Amino acid sequence: SCQWGYDSDNGPEHWHKYYPIAKGENQSPIEINSKEVQHDPSLPPWFVGYDPGAAKTILNNGRTCRVVFDDTFDRSVLRGGPLPGTFRLRQFHFHWGSSDDHGSEHIVDGVKYAAELHMVHWNPKYSNFAEALKQADGVAVVGVFLKVGKTPKPEMKRILEEIDNIKTKGKEAPFSNFDPSILFPKSRDYWTYHGSFTTPPCEECITWILLREPIEVSPDQMAKLRSLSINAETEPVCPMVDNWRPPQPRHFRMVRASFQ
Ligand SMILES: CC[C@H](CNC(=O)c1ccc(S(N)(=O)=O)cc1)c1ccc2[nH]ccc2c1
Ligand SMILES: [Zn+2]
């Protein structure tokens, strides 16, 4: 099977060979250019109701660090904003660079952030996630930019403490009693547009909700994330860094802003 990745021989330029939709017209990420964004005053605020008890495990899948939630019923949900109804939280994960000056997937007015957090939700009007990802309104991802500053983000502490237990591909550890909404910035301002998974199979099923305000993390916290490896325990060490897809053509898509 195709082992896609982020290297020169299996990276974003190759993905279309196994996943032709990767050259589609609704791909993510994109560059957000404030001058071309349309302020939509009718966009409502978004809300989350996350149950900390829904958190299950944290895992290294060889491409990112992912925290997985129980999504067998409406336990942790996202609603409002551009969304039709409530969406169930399934997992969150990160994308980051090999240094603090890049690593995010979306780029805002030319600014690349050090990392980007994705909180993945799916529309329970479909029977399961695998079905939802075949629908244009099947998935909603809240994206949060991570900026490097002097002050560490205390709410990241628990995630980063677990890193030592999931250093290599396939490692998983229990991760319970965690409400990921503590990771959000103060402002609820967002951009929204229709796009895709930023990794294969690149399905165009995602309503993106990108928060304007980044959260701040410390250089040490970023270094902790970069201490993950993509290799399995028995293989040579290969750092998990630069697991981001570059911006894709926006084509005829409108990016709306909830703020002026
Ligand atoms: C379809 C791929 C999926 C695994 N991947 C994801 O869930 C995923 C989620 C979000 C993003 S991002 N970076 O855009 O936020 C990228 C990938 C996946 C693959 C096989 C599956 N079989 C059953 C369910 C299922 C899900
Ligand atoms: Zn992602």
Could you report the predicted ipTM of this complex, rounded to two decimals? 0.94
Q: Which of 65, 120, 210 to mutate to test the pocket of ligand 1 (most atoms within 8 A of CB)?
A: 120
Question: Which residues on adjacent β-strands are paired with residue 210?
Answer: 143, 191
173 CA → ligand 2 middle, Å: 20
113 CA → ligand 2 middle, Å: 14
Atom of ligand 1 nearest to the CA of 141: 15
Please check whether residue 19 is in contact with residue 202, taking contact to mean a CB–CB distance below 8 angstroms: yes
CA distance 24 to 31: 16
143 CA → ligand 2 middle, Å: 8
> Using CA of residue 227, residue 232, residue 235, residue 238, what is the dihedral sign?
negative
Whose alpha carbon is nearest atom 19 of ligand 1? 130
Atom of ligand 1 nearest to the CA of 90: 7
- pLDDT of the residue at 2: 61
Nearest ligand, measured from the Cα of 29: 1
- pLDDT of the residue at 214: 98
Q: Which of 123, 129, 208, 244 to mutate to test the pocket of ligand 1 (most atoms within 8 A of CB)?
A: 129
Nearest ligand, measured from the Cα of 104: 2
Whose alpha carbon is nearest atom 12 of ligand 1? 197
Instruction: Return per-residue pLDDT of the chain as tens, 260 residues.
Output: 569 999 999 999 999 999 999 999 999 999 999 999 999 999 999 999 999 999 999 999 999 999 999 999 999 999 999 999 999 999 999 999 999 999 999 999 999 999 999 999 999 999 999 999 999 999 999 999 999 999 999 999 999 999 999 999 999 999 999 999 999 999 999 999 999 999 999 999 999 999 999 999 999 999 999 999 999 999 999 999 999 999 999 999 999 999 99
Atom of ligand 1 nearest to the CA of 64: 13
Residues flanking ligand 1, CB < 6 Å: 118, 120, 129-130, 133, 141, 197-199, 201
pTM above 0.90, yes or no: yes
- pLDDT of the residue at 124: 98
Which bin fits 98, alpha (ψ -120 to 50), beta or left (φ > 0)?
A: alpha
CA distance 232 to 215: 31
53 CA → ligand 2 middle, Å: 23
Question: For the CA atoms of 188, 191, 197, 199, what is the dihedral angle to 10 degrees?
Answer: -90
123 CA → ligand 2 middle, Å: 17
190 SS3 class? strand
